[in-house]
Chains A and B, each alone.
Chain A
Amino acid sequence: DGGITQSPKYLFRKEGQNVTLSCEQNLNHDAMYWYRQDPGQGLRLIYYSQIVNDFQKGDIAEGYSVSREKKESFPLTVTSAQKNPTAFYLCASSMGSGVTSTDTQYFGPGTRLTVL
């Protein structure tokens, strides 16, 4: 049963704490992405990774960090430096093989983070 999983579904954090959101895929995709979605704002790209041990900043990377130690995993850490972290976080992946990829991205179910 292939797909993208994100955990937890809901996450509550106190101000000043770092939290890590999990994203795992078994689609054998090379590229993975993290987006943030706020009401009425669409999807904003935080970080993306085209290959293991390499990643690039998106449009709103400040206050976030990522790692890509394994092809199937791309965890996102929301640090205390992120001023307004309450949002819906979406992870996605695409083939990104450089051969036949269409850049089509497939999304996980999301994690809703609330800062108390």
Chain B
Amino acid sequence: QKEVEQDPGPLSVPEGAIVSLNCTYSNSAFQYFMWYRQYSRKGPELLMYTYSSGNKEDGRFTAQVDKSSKYISLFIRDSQPSDSATYLCAMSAVRLGRGSTLGRLYFGRGTQLTVWP
């Protein structure tokens, strides 16, 4: 079983729809959770970052973490064609110091999203 599972899609929605992207994970030590957006043939860019459980909102984007279920979500409200990209979830464990899990991120496979006008 992979550390992080993410449905690769593809996901296709009309403009204005609410999009829900999800990841599950198996390692209960994960504490830091991130969502990256990657446009075609570009490097990923950090979209959202959350620590431990809870919600975080930034404009049209909301990140949710449910550590009891080992489940994280990214919601996009009022989706736009410019949101069309691949969305990657990533997570890391509590920092235990140099030589252990320091700096190590575990990525999902990414979900390809298309928002059509």
Complex: A106 Cα to B90 Cα, angstroms:
12
Complex: A40 Cα to B108 Cα, angstroms:
10
User: Is A50 on the interface with B (CB-CB < 8 A)?
Assistant: yes
- Taking CB atoms, residues of chain A closer than 8 Å to B99 are 56
Interface of A is mostly: strand
Tell me whether B41 and A106 are in contact (CB under 8 A): no
Residues of A within 8 A of B (CB): 4, 6, 31, 33, 40-43, 45, 48, 50-51, 56, 88, 90, 94, 96, 98, 101-110, 112
Tell me whether A33 and B42 are in contact (CB under 8 A): no
Number of chain B residues close to chain A: CB under 8 A: 28
Tell me whether B109 and A40 are in contact (CB under 8 A): yes
Add 19 more A-B contacts to A6-B43, A50-B98, A107-B45 (CB < 8 A).
A33-B103, A40-B109, A41-B109, A42-B88, A42-B107, A42-B110, A43-B44, A88-B41, A98-B95, A98-B97, A98-B102, A101-B103, A103-B104, A104-B32, A104-B46, A105-B46, A105-B103, A109-B42, A110-B41
Complex: A4 Cα to B34 Cα, angstroms:
19
- Taking CB atoms, residues of chain B closer than 8 Å to A94 are 103
- Taking CB atoms, residues of chain A closer than 8 Å to B41 are 88, 110, 112
**Partner of B43 from A40, A101, A104, A109 at Cβ < 8 Å:** A109
When A and B form their complex, which 9 residue pairs have the shortest distance between CB atoms, in order from nearest?
Answer: A107-B43, A42-B109, A43-B107, A103-B92, A31-B103, A109-B43, A107-B44, A42-B107, A110-B43
Chain B, residue nearest A108 (CB): B43
**Partner of A48 from B8, B32, B36, B104 at Cβ < 8 Å:** B104
Tell me whether B103 and A96 are in contact (CB under 8 A): yes
Chain A, residue nearest B91 (CB): A103
A-B contact list, 26 entries, CB within 8 Å: A6-B43, A40-B109, A42-B6, A42-B109, A42-B110, A43-B44, A43-B88, A45-B105, A48-B104, A90-B44, A98-B95, A98-B102, A101-B95, A101-B103, A103-B103, A103-B104, A103-B105, A104-B32, A104-B46, A104-B49, A105-B46, A105-B103, A109-B42, A109-B43, A110-B43, A112-B41
- Taking CB atoms, residues of chain B closer than 8 Å to A43 are 44, 88, 107
